[in-house]
Amino acid sequence: MATPPPIKPPEQIPPSLEVARHVTDEEFAKARRQFIILWSGTMAAPLLAALILGALGFVAIFGWIGLAVLIGIGIVAYIVLYALFPEAKKMSTMRLRKYNELKAWRAAKERFEASKKAGAAREDE
pLDDT in tens, 106-125: 899 889 888 888 877 777 66
In the chain, what are the domain boundaries?
23-92
Q: Compute the distance between CA of residue 60 and CA of residue 62 in angstroms, rounded to an integer.
A: 6
**DSSP alpha helices (H): ranges in the chain?**
25-55, 58-62, 64-84, 94-97, 99-124
Per-residue pLDDT tens over the stretch 47-101: 888 888 777 777 677 777 878 888 899 999 999 999 999 999 888 888 888 999 9
Measure CA 92 to chain center. 7
Q: How many helices (H) and strands (E) does the chain have?
A: 5, 0
Asked if the model's pLDDT at residue 32 lies above 90, the reply is yes
Contact yes or no for 109/17 (Cβ under 8 A): no
Q: What is the pTM of this model?
A: 0.69
pLDDT at 7: 63
Cα–Cα distance measured from residue 100 to residue 38, given in angstroms and rounded to the nearest whole number: 20
Angle at 83 between CA 81 and CA 29, to 5 degrees: 70
> Which is more confidently placed, 9 or 33?
33
Residue 88, amino acid:
A
